[in-house]
Amino acid sequence: MNISEFIEKLEAEFDELEPGTLKPDTNFRDLDEWSSMHALIIIALIDTDYDVTITGDDLSSIETVSELYDIVAQRVA
Amino acid sequence: MNPFSLAHKTILVTGASSGIGAEAARMISKSGARVIITARNEERLKATFNSLEGSNHGYVLADLTNEEDIKNLIDQIDHLDGVVHSSGIVRPFPIKFIGAKQIDEMYGANYYGPVVLTSKLFRAKKINAGASLVFMSSISSKFPHKGGALYSGSKAALNSFSKTIALEYAPQKIRSNVISAAMVRTPLFDEAEKAISKEMMDKHGEDYPLGFGDPEDIGHAILFLLSGGSRWITGTEIVMDGGLSAGH
């Protein structure tokens, strides 16, 4: 897994996002479409595809795509 | 005689290792009934057992998604005057992440367990005439939430199951009802809060005129449904939501 694969996966799950919108330093909350549903989708995606548990509190504690990637990369080991 | 008394009754409580099940078991024991408690986690189940008032109570370890465990549990039960089904799980699954595995997990814990246990208790003639069955359900069975397709569906299925018991066992005066609860401060509440963040949970709480519930609040309704005081109530639900669904 690397961060660009990870970003591709995230973008694929968010139907409204144009490919290429997400960058490692993108702040989730700055996205116009950001909602509670996206948090649920991120949690479920990471659980399904990486077998890693992310909580809502984890998401509250981070802001950017790369911070999310770091959590997953750390826990997948 | 006090119509609300539970004296001389034997009540089975599932999911008794924590939350509503544990609190209900303690409250039932205080009301003078004999309680048999069951759950999967031995350490926590024993902790509940040790907190029961009075003697003569029992505990049986069981995973209710396992047919052998259900059989063993039923073998250790003589006769019951009531069952409180409070075992269950909550996990959010957005629709596009639902597959056979997620369905099995949710319906296994929330539907298969209580349904198969009840069915086999009846088959084994372990449920006395006049008994009362109480199922913990959720207001989400009628008002689902995002990510709640499987959870709310499993509880809606349980509501229908309870009504069917009410119809089939009315001749024996056996009653069955559900309690449709909103958010109650239990370990599941803490899990849900972690899943969606404390910020969102606090915001949700603002919609409750009476605030979130406590296990004891639900316990009071369970005591009532188990007692003869509710003898004309069957096949229905008691909504306990601190006023959430009244409007705002």
Per-residue pLDDT of chain A (77 residues; tens, 9 = 90+): 899 999 999 999 888 888 888 999 999 888 877 777 888 899 999 998 999 998 888 888 899 999 999 999 999 87
User: What single-letter amino acid sits at A11?
Assistant: E
User: Between A and B, how many residue pairs show a Cβ–Cβ distance under 8 A?
Assistant: 43
The answer to whether A14 and A38 have CB atoms below 8 angstroms apart is yes
Instruction: Evaluate whether the domain defined by A3-10+24-76 bears CATH number 3.30.365.10.
Output: no
**Domain boundaries B10-183+215-242, CATH class:** alpha beta
Using the predicted structure, report yes or no on whether residue B19 has a pLDDT greater than 80. yes
Here the tokens at position B45 are: 């189940």
Main-chain dihedrals φ then ψ at residue B37, nearest 5 degrees: -115, 150
Q: What is the ipTM of this complex?
A: 0.81
Listed in order, strand segments (DSSP E) in chain A are none
Q: Does A56 touch chain B if contact means CB atoms closer than 8 Å?
A: yes
pLDDT tens sequence across B140-174: 999 999 999 999 999 999 999 999 999 999 999 99
pLDDT band at residue B98 under the 50/70/90 scheme = very high
pLDDT band at residue B89 under the 50/70/90 scheme = very high
The pTM assigned to this predicted structure is: 0.93
Q: How far apart are CA B180 and CA B93, in angstroms?
A: 21
Once rounded to an integer, what is the mean pLDDT over residues B229-240? 98
Q: Does A39 touch chain B if contact means CB atoms closer than 8 Å?
A: yes
Domain ranges of chain A: 3-10+24-76
Main-chain dihedrals φ then ψ at residue B119, nearest 5 degrees: -55, -45
Q: Name the 3-class secondary structure at B82.
A: strand
Task: Give the residues across from B238 on adjacent strands.
Answer: B179
Tell me the shortest Cα–Cα distance from B43 to chain A, in angstroms: 25
What are B161-165's contacts with CB under 8 Å, separation 24+? B161/B111, B161/B114, B161/B115, B161/B118, B161/B135, B162/B133, B162/B135, B162/B137, B162/B235, B162/B237, B163/B235, B163/B236, B165/B118, B165/B133, B165/B235
What value does the CA radius of gyration of chain B take, rounded to a whole number of Å? 17
Residues of B engaging A, defined by a Cβ cutoff of 8 Å: 92-94, 96-97, 146-147, 193-200
Q: Do the chains contact at A56 and B97, CB–CB below 8 Å? A: no
Once rounded to an integer, what is the mean pLDDT over residues B12-24? 98
What are A14-17's contacts with CB under 8 Å, separation 24+? A14/A38, A14/A41
> Which chain A residue shows the shortest CA-CA distance from B146?
A37
Q: How many CB atoms lie within 10 A of CB B19?
A: 22
DSSP single-letter state for residue B54: S
Contacts of A44 in chain B (CB under 8 A): 92-94, 97, 147
Q: Do the chains contact at A60 and B199, CB–CB below 8 Å? A: yes
- Angle at which helix B19-30 crosses helix B215-226, to 10 degrees, equals 50
User: What single-letter amino acid sits at B248?
Assistant: H
Main-chain dihedrals φ then ψ at residue B76, nearest 5 degrees: -90, 0
Of the candidates B59, B63, B11, the residue with the CA atom closest to the CA atom of residue B32: B11
